[in-house]
């Protein structure tokens, strides 16, 4: 045994990662445990619902093999939840295995039964059941590993709970023997071998070795694996042995949390935690936890666990009663102090009443003065509100005046610009009429009247005059509003915007909205100026407004605001 144990410990020590310190504090873990206990009834409901579904599946099964598989699942679900149900389904499994003539399943059932008996303290029954297990050449390594693990488990528990000193060495030797046998089949289930070696190392006080084994056992597991409860509990025992009480308590709380998460009724961790809290002085929590463990144990129906809880419950109850007596004494003292304070309070009330009478007259005068001040304040507030309203109206009028001044200044600027343009056009028109008169006189003298009549009837002169008019209009307008095209494009969708090169004449659409900018809104007036029909002008306006960004109804008003 010693050589195999040393080899195993050396290998797991190399593989084991260093223990990671728990980040959580004891108080936060205890709070989490309190929350878990409060929500435990909900977990029980979910558990019962799941068990009911499995029972229905069992009843619906058509083959013995299916019934055996579901019965085994029901056993594992009840293993730490309800002992009577676990034993009931183990009996079902045994009958089904015998009926199917499957010796392997029959042996596994005996081992499961033995493990259940060990858990509730029925060691003699477990011995008888393990004696039923018979090996054959076809027996699998997994079954042999389970068998020797059960024997290790049995001798370890008997060693822990025996009160006969002469039997200790017998149980110790049996444990050593079956650990060696289990080592031969560790490849079938390494977890079982590590677990029994860890328990054995803790019993011998080899805590560093046990910690390495514990780390290796814990590494592949993740919450809510039911095995973590046992792993965390062993971590608690190891840290207790190493002299780390706070760290040990954290792992014990984690073990209890894992048990509650998995709806375990065989509550070893909660019971042990109640005992630890009792020793550290947290009697209220200890009392709550031991009663919770007692209720769970009654549901599980384990004589061994009930006996252990009863002994701890008696101690905690006794301490609670003692604290209640101490609290009652303190309560009597407090009541006496309160009575004395009450007498002092009555004396103070009499003194206060006399003082109150002398203050009443002053208070009435102050009330009268306050009412006068309140009336004045009300008038003052009313005046302030009226002034605020007047200021708002004045600000609004000033804003309107500024806008009117801006529009007036703009109109003056437009009038001035177009007056200059008008005078220039008139001068050009007089010069043109003079040239025309000279041309008529020259044509008349030379007798070229037919050629002259053809020139007069031609549209070329009219088109030339219109080009000059529109060119002058465009230059005058752009000199007044140089950013008009840029600002106008901002009001349109990107695909409908106009690109005008420098010194290029305005297109018809822009010239229409330039006239609208100058407050010439009537389509007929615009049509006469641009020599188009009113319907054409309307279509141009509608086309541009359809491509406007935002509300098209106020598009022309936004155009008029350009440059203001």
Residue 428 structure tokens? 């050009």
Judge whether 550 lies within some domain. Answer: yes
- Residue 67 near residue 58 (C-beta atoms within 8 A): yes
Q: Which of 144, 102, 147 is nearest to 127 (CA)?
A: 147
Q: What is the pLDDT of residues 455-491, one digit of tens each?
A: 665 556 677 778 888 888 888 888 888 888 889 889 9
The answer to whether 210 touches 238, Cβ cutoff 8 Å, is: yes
Give mean pLDDT in consecutive 10-residue pieces for the chain, a chain of 564 residues: 41 39 76 92 93 94 94 92 92 94 94 92 91 89 89 87 80 84 68 80 88 88 85 91 91 91 86 87 85 85 66 60 69 85 87 81 80 82 80 76 65 58 58 66 67 61 78 85 88 89 83 89 89 91 90 88 80
Largest CA distance in the chain: 162
Q: How far apart are CA 366 and CA 389, in angstroms?
A: 34
SS3 548: strand
Tell whether 344 is covered by a domain. no
Q: Rounded to whole angstroms, how far apart are CA atoms 61 and 359? A: 92
**Cβ neighbours of 184 (radius 10 Å):** 14
Cα(first)–Cα(last) distance of the chain, in Å? 103
Rounded distance, CA 335 to CA 338, Å? 5
3-state helix/strand/coil string of 98-155: HHHCCHHHHHHHHHHHHHHHHHCCCHHHHHHHHHCCCCCCCCCHHHHHHHHHHHHHHH
CB neighbour class for 20 (10 Å; exposed up to 12, middle 13-18, buried from 19): exposed
| Residue-level pLDDT at 8 | 41
Residue 260 backbone phi and psi in degrees, to 5: -70, -40
At 21, list the tokens. 């310190």
SS (H, E, C) 219-269: CCCCCCCCHHHHHHHHHHHHHHHCCCHHHHHHHHHHHHHHHHHCCCCCCHH
In a domain, 544, yes or no: yes
Give the total number of structural domains in the chain.
Answer: 1
> Would you say residue 425 lies in a domain?
no
Residue 501 is assigned to a structural domain of this protein? yes
Structural domain harbouring 496: 459-560
Give the position of tokens 């998460």. Answer: 261
Is the separation of the CB atoms in 559 and 491 below 8 Å? yes
What value, to the nearest 5°, has the Cα angle with vertex 20 and ends 18 and 25?
155
In sequence order, the β-bridge partners of residue 492 are: 548
SS3 492: strand
User: Using an 8 Å Cβ cutoff, are 179 and 199 in contact?
Assistant: no
Domain-located, residue 467: yes
| Omega before 224 within 30 of 0, i.e. cis | yes
Structure tokens that stand for 544 in this block: 């541009």
Distance CA 317, CA 331 (A): 20
H or E segment to which residue 282 belongs:
none
Q: Mind listing the pLDDT tens digit for each residue in 514-563?
A: 998 888 888 899 898 888 999 999 999 999 989 999 888 889 889 888 87
In a domain, 258, yes or no: no
Is residue 515 one of the residues assigned to a domain? yes
Phi, psi for residue 326 in degrees, rounded to 5 = -65, -40
What whole-number distance in Å separates Cα of residue 77 and Cα of residue 227?
13
Dihedral pair phi/psi, residue 492, rounded to 5°: -110, 160
Cβ pair 267, 41 in contact under 8 A: no
Q: How far apart are CA 460 and CA 467, in angstroms?
A: 10
Q: Decide if 197 contacts 22 (C-beta within 8 A).
A: no
∠ Cα 48 50 56 (to 5°): 100
- Rounded CA gap, 273 and 293, in Å? 10
């Amino acid at each position: 045994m010693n050589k195999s144990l040393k080899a195993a410990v050396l290998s797991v020590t190399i593989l084991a990662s260093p223990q990671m310190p728990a980040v959580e504090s004891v108080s936060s873990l205890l709070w989490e445990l309190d929350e878990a206990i409060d929500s435990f009834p909900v977990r029980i409901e979910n558990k019962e619902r799941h068990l009911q579904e499995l029972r229905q599946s069992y009843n619906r099964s058509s083959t013995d093999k299916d019934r055996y598989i579901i019965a085994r699942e029901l056993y594992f679900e009840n293993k730490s939840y309800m002992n009577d149900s676990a034993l009931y389904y183990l009996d079902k499994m045994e009958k089904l295995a015998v009926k199917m003539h499957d010796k392997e399943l029959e042996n596994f059932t005996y081992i499961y039964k033995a493990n259940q008996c060990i858990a509730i303290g029925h060691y003699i029954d477990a011995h008888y059941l393990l004696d039923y297990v018979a090996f054959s050449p076809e027996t699998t390594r997994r079954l042999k590993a389970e068998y020797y693990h059960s024997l290790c488990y049995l001798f370890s528990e008997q060693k822990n709970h025996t009160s006969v000193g002469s039997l200790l060495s017998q149980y110790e030797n049996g444990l050593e023997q079956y650990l060696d046998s289990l080592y031969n089949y560790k490849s079938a289930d390494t977890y079982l071998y590590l677990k029994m070696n860890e328990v054995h190392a803790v019993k011998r006080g080899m805590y560093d070795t046990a910690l390495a084994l514990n780390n290796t056992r814990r590494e592949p597991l993740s919450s809510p694996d039911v095995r973590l409860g046992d792993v965390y509990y062993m971590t608690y025992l190891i840290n207790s042995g190493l002299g780390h009480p706070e760290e040990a308590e954290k792992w014990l709380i984690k073990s209890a949390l894992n048990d509650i998460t998995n709806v375990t009724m065989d509550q070893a961790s909660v019971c042990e935690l109640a005992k630890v809290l009792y020793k550290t002085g947290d009697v209220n929590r200890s009392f709550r936890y031991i009663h919770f463990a007692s209720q769970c144990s009654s549901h599980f129906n384990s004589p061994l666990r009930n006996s252990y809880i009863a002994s701890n419950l008696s101690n905690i109850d006794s301490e609670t009663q003692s604290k209640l007596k101490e609290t009652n004494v303190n309560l009597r003292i407090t009541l006496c102090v309160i009575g004395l304070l009450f007498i002092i309070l009555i004396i103070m009330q009499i003194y206060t009443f006399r003082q109150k009478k002398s203050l009443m007259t002053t208070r009435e005068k102050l009330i009268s003065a306050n009412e006068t001040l309140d009336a004045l304040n009300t008038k003052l507030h009313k005046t302030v509100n009226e002034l605020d309203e007047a200021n708002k109206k004045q600000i609004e009028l000033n804003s309107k005046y500024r806008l009117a001044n801006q529009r007036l200044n703009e109109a003056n600027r437009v009038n001035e610009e177009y007056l200059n343009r008008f005078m220039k056009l008139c001068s050009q028109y007089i010069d043109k009429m003079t040239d025309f008169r000279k041309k008529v006189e020259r044509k008349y003298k030379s007798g070229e009247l037919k050629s002259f009549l053809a020139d007069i009837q031609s549209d070329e002169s009219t088109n030339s005059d219109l080009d000059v008019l529109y060119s002058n209009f465009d230059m005058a307008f752009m000199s007044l509003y140089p950013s008009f095209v840029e600002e106008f494009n901002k009001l349109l969708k990107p695909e409908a915007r106009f690109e005008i090169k420098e010194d290029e004449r305005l297109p018809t659409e822009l010239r229409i909205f330039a006239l609208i900018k100058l407050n010439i809104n009537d389509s007929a007036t615009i049509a006469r100026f641009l020599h188009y029909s009113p319907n054409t002008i309307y279509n141009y306006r509608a086309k541009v407004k359809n491509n406007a960004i935002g509300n098209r109804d106020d598009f022309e008003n936004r155009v008029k605001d350009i440059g203001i």
